[in-house]
Amino acid sequence: MEDVARSAPQQRAARAAAPRPAARKAPAPAPVASSDPWDRADSDERDSAIADPDELIRDAKELFGQLQGGDKVAFWGAALVLMSCFLPWKETAVDGDVLGLMSLGVGAFIMSILQLTAVTIRVKGSLPNMNPVVPWMGQLVVSIVCLIWCIVYIKVSSDTTMVPTPIGNSEMMNSSPSFGVYVAILGSVAALGGTLLGLKGQSSR
Protein backbone atom coordinates (compact mmCIF):
# COMPACT_ATOMS: atom_id res chain seq x y z
CA MET A 1 0.00 0.00 0.00
CA GLU A 2 2.84 2.37 0.83
CA ASP A 3 4.41 1.69 -2.59
CA VAL A 4 1.12 2.43 -4.31
CA ALA A 5 0.71 5.64 -2.32
CA ARG A 6 4.25 6.76 -3.22
CA SER A 7 3.89 5.90 -6.93
CA ALA A 8 0.59 7.79 -7.38
CA PRO A 9 2.09 11.32 -7.10
CA GLN A 10 4.94 10.27 -9.40
CA GLN A 11 2.48 9.08 -12.08
CA ARG A 12 0.49 12.30 -11.83
CA ALA A 13 3.69 14.34 -12.15
CA ALA A 14 4.80 12.28 -15.15
CA ARG A 15 1.48 12.82 -16.87
CA ALA A 16 1.65 16.55 -16.16
CA ALA A 17 5.20 16.74 -17.55
CA ALA A 18 4.36 14.75 -20.69
CA PRO A 19 4.08 16.99 -23.81
CA ARG A 20 0.53 17.64 -24.88
CA PRO A 21 -0.38 17.00 -28.52
CA ALA A 22 -0.56 20.11 -30.66
CA ALA A 23 -4.03 21.50 -31.16
CA ARG A 24 -5.53 20.75 -34.54
CA LYS A 25 -6.08 23.69 -36.80
CA ALA A 26 -9.57 24.30 -38.07
CA PRO A 27 -9.95 23.58 -41.80
CA ALA A 28 -9.73 26.61 -44.04
CA PRO A 29 -13.16 27.87 -45.11
CA ALA A 30 -14.19 26.98 -48.62
CA PRO A 31 -13.85 29.85 -51.08
CA VAL A 32 -17.12 31.67 -51.56
CA ALA A 33 -18.11 32.63 -55.09
CA SER A 34 -17.94 36.34 -55.54
CA SER A 35 -21.20 38.05 -56.36
CA ASP A 36 -19.50 41.24 -57.45
CA PRO A 37 -20.87 42.09 -60.94
CA TRP A 38 -17.61 43.92 -61.72
CA ASP A 39 -15.42 40.90 -60.93
CA ARG A 40 -13.59 40.09 -64.18
CA ALA A 41 -13.17 36.42 -63.24
CA ASP A 42 -16.92 35.98 -62.93
CA SER A 43 -17.63 38.00 -66.04
CA ASP A 44 -15.27 35.85 -68.12
CA GLU A 45 -17.10 32.69 -67.02
CA ARG A 46 -20.47 34.21 -67.88
CA ASP A 47 -19.29 35.56 -71.21
CA SER A 48 -18.00 32.15 -72.28
CA ALA A 49 -21.62 30.90 -72.40
CA ILE A 50 -22.64 33.73 -74.74
CA ALA A 51 -21.94 33.36 -78.43
CA ASP A 52 -19.08 35.44 -79.73
CA PRO A 53 -20.40 38.23 -82.02
CA ASP A 54 -17.48 37.70 -84.38
CA GLU A 55 -18.40 34.04 -84.67
CA LEU A 56 -22.02 34.92 -85.43
CA ILE A 57 -20.92 37.34 -88.15
CA ARG A 58 -18.60 34.70 -89.56
CA ASP A 59 -21.42 32.12 -89.64
CA ALA A 60 -23.73 34.63 -91.34
CA LYS A 61 -21.13 35.37 -94.02
CA GLU A 62 -20.63 31.65 -94.55
CA LEU A 63 -24.39 31.16 -94.95
CA PHE A 64 -24.69 34.02 -97.44
CA GLY A 65 -21.82 32.54 -99.43
CA GLN A 66 -23.58 29.18 -99.62
CA LEU A 67 -26.84 30.64 -100.91
CA GLN A 68 -27.13 30.00 -104.62
CA GLY A 69 -29.83 30.63 -107.22
CA GLY A 70 -33.32 29.96 -105.93
CA ASP A 71 -32.20 29.69 -102.32
CA LYS A 72 -30.83 33.23 -102.43
CA VAL A 73 -34.08 34.58 -103.91
CA ALA A 74 -36.22 32.68 -101.38
CA PHE A 75 -34.05 33.74 -98.44
CA TRP A 76 -34.06 37.46 -99.22
CA GLY A 77 -37.75 37.33 -100.17
CA ALA A 78 -38.57 35.92 -96.73
CA ALA A 79 -36.28 38.52 -95.15
CA LEU A 80 -38.22 41.24 -96.97
CA VAL A 81 -41.49 39.91 -95.54
CA LEU A 82 -39.91 39.90 -92.09
CA MET A 83 -38.82 43.54 -92.37
CA SER A 84 -42.17 44.63 -93.82
CA CYS A 85 -43.88 43.63 -90.56
CA PHE A 86 -42.21 46.64 -88.93
CA LEU A 87 -43.95 48.93 -91.43
CA PRO A 88 -47.60 50.10 -91.43
CA TRP A 89 -49.89 47.43 -92.86
CA LYS A 90 -53.11 49.37 -92.63
CA GLU A 91 -54.40 52.83 -91.87
CA THR A 92 -57.54 53.36 -89.83
CA ALA A 93 -59.54 56.48 -89.09
CA VAL A 94 -59.38 55.80 -85.34
CA ASP A 95 -55.88 54.41 -84.73
CA GLY A 96 -53.99 55.79 -87.71
CA ASP A 97 -51.14 53.62 -89.00
CA VAL A 98 -51.06 50.06 -87.65
CA LEU A 99 -47.84 48.05 -87.90
CA GLY A 100 -47.88 44.53 -89.23
CA LEU A 101 -46.67 43.17 -85.89
CA MET A 102 -49.60 44.86 -84.15
CA SER A 103 -52.18 43.25 -86.42
CA LEU A 104 -52.80 40.01 -88.29
CA GLY A 105 -49.52 40.67 -90.07
CA VAL A 106 -47.83 38.85 -87.19
CA GLY A 107 -48.82 35.65 -88.99
CA ALA A 108 -46.65 36.64 -91.97
CA PHE A 109 -43.87 37.50 -89.51
CA ILE A 110 -43.93 33.98 -88.06
CA MET A 111 -44.12 32.34 -91.49
CA SER A 112 -41.15 34.36 -92.77
CA ILE A 113 -39.09 33.11 -89.82
CA LEU A 114 -40.10 29.54 -90.68
CA GLN A 115 -39.01 30.06 -94.29
CA LEU A 116 -35.65 31.48 -93.23
CA THR A 117 -35.18 28.54 -90.87
CA ALA A 118 -36.01 26.00 -93.58
CA VAL A 119 -33.55 27.55 -96.04
CA THR A 120 -30.82 27.71 -93.40
CA ILE A 121 -31.32 24.06 -92.38
CA ARG A 122 -31.12 22.88 -95.98
CA VAL A 123 -28.14 24.99 -97.01
CA LYS A 124 -26.01 24.32 -93.92
CA GLY A 125 -27.11 20.70 -93.49
CA SER A 126 -27.88 21.26 -89.82
CA LEU A 127 -30.06 18.14 -89.64
CA PRO A 128 -28.31 15.48 -91.74
CA ASN A 129 -30.68 12.73 -90.59
CA MET A 130 -33.74 14.60 -91.84
CA ASN A 131 -35.17 13.75 -95.23
CA PRO A 132 -34.29 16.70 -97.53
CA VAL A 133 -37.83 16.66 -98.90
CA VAL A 134 -39.20 17.82 -95.52
CA PRO A 135 -37.63 21.31 -95.46
CA TRP A 136 -38.36 21.74 -99.18
CA MET A 137 -42.05 20.95 -98.75
CA GLY A 138 -42.25 23.00 -95.57
CA GLN A 139 -40.70 25.96 -97.33
CA LEU A 140 -43.06 25.61 -100.30
CA VAL A 141 -46.21 25.30 -98.18
CA VAL A 142 -45.28 28.20 -95.90
CA SER A 143 -44.43 30.49 -98.82
CA ILE A 144 -47.81 29.77 -100.47
CA VAL A 145 -49.72 30.30 -97.22
CA CYS A 146 -47.81 33.52 -96.54
CA LEU A 147 -48.75 34.94 -99.94
CA ILE A 148 -52.42 34.00 -99.47
CA TRP A 149 -52.32 35.47 -95.96
CA CYS A 150 -51.14 38.85 -97.26
CA ILE A 151 -53.76 38.92 -100.02
CA VAL A 152 -56.54 38.08 -97.55
CA TYR A 153 -55.22 40.77 -95.22
CA ILE A 154 -55.70 43.40 -97.93
CA LYS A 155 -59.30 42.26 -98.37
CA VAL A 156 -60.00 42.22 -94.62
CA SER A 157 -58.40 45.59 -93.91
CA SER A 158 -60.34 47.38 -96.65
CA ASP A 159 -63.38 49.19 -95.29
CA THR A 160 -64.65 51.79 -97.76
CA THR A 161 -67.08 53.35 -95.30
CA MET A 162 -66.38 57.08 -95.31
CA VAL A 163 -65.94 58.67 -91.89
CA PRO A 164 -64.92 62.20 -90.84
CA THR A 165 -61.20 62.75 -90.39
CA PRO A 166 -59.95 63.60 -86.89
CA ILE A 167 -58.67 66.94 -88.22
CA GLY A 168 -60.54 69.10 -90.69
CA ASN A 169 -63.88 68.68 -92.42
CA SER A 170 -62.84 66.06 -94.99
CA GLU A 171 -63.68 62.37 -95.01
CA MET A 172 -61.58 59.24 -95.29
CA MET A 173 -62.10 55.48 -95.51
CA ASN A 174 -62.62 53.78 -92.20
CA SER A 175 -59.75 51.37 -92.92
CA SER A 176 -57.42 50.81 -95.85
CA PRO A 177 -54.30 48.69 -96.46
CA SER A 178 -50.99 50.50 -96.23
CA PHE A 179 -47.74 50.10 -98.15
CA GLY A 180 -46.25 47.58 -95.68
CA VAL A 181 -48.57 44.79 -96.76
CA TYR A 182 -47.71 45.39 -100.42
CA VAL A 183 -44.02 45.07 -99.55
CA ALA A 184 -44.89 41.79 -97.83
CA ILE A 185 -46.68 40.56 -100.96
CA LEU A 186 -43.62 41.40 -103.04
CA GLY A 187 -41.42 39.46 -100.63
CA SER A 188 -43.84 36.52 -100.57
CA VAL A 189 -43.86 36.32 -104.36
CA ALA A 190 -40.05 36.38 -104.37
CA ALA A 191 -39.88 33.68 -101.68
CA LEU A 192 -42.34 31.47 -103.57
CA GLY A 193 -40.55 32.02 -106.87
CA GLY A 194 -37.18 31.24 -105.30
CA THR A 195 -38.57 28.06 -103.77
CA LEU A 196 -40.00 26.87 -107.09
CA LEU A 197 -36.72 27.76 -108.81
CA GLY A 198 -34.79 25.75 -106.24
CA LEU A 199 -37.11 22.76 -106.61
CA LYS A 200 -36.69 22.90 -110.37
CA GLY A 201 -32.93 22.89 -109.96
CA GLN A 202 -33.14 19.90 -107.62
CA SER A 203 -35.30 17.91 -110.04
CA SER A 204 -32.89 18.55 -112.92
CA ARG A 205 -29.94 17.07 -110.99
Helix (H) or strand (E) holding 188: helix 179-203
pLDDT digits (tens, 9 = 90+) for 11-67: 555 555 555 655 566 566 665 555 555 555 455 455 544 667 777 777 777 776 777
Q: How many whole angstroms separate alpha carbon 88 and alpha carbon 175? A: 12
User: How confident is the model over 77-97, as pLDDT tens digits?
Assistant: 999 999 999 999 998 888 888
Q: Looking at this protein, which amino acid is placed at residue 193?
A: G
Q: Specify the 3-state DSSP secondary structure of 144.
A: helix
- Please state the pTM of the whole predicted model: 0.67
Q: What is the pLDDT of residue 116?
A: 92
What pLDDT is stored for residue 48 in this prediction?
A: 47
For the chain, what is the largest distance between any 2 Cα atoms, rounded to a whole number of angstroms? 132
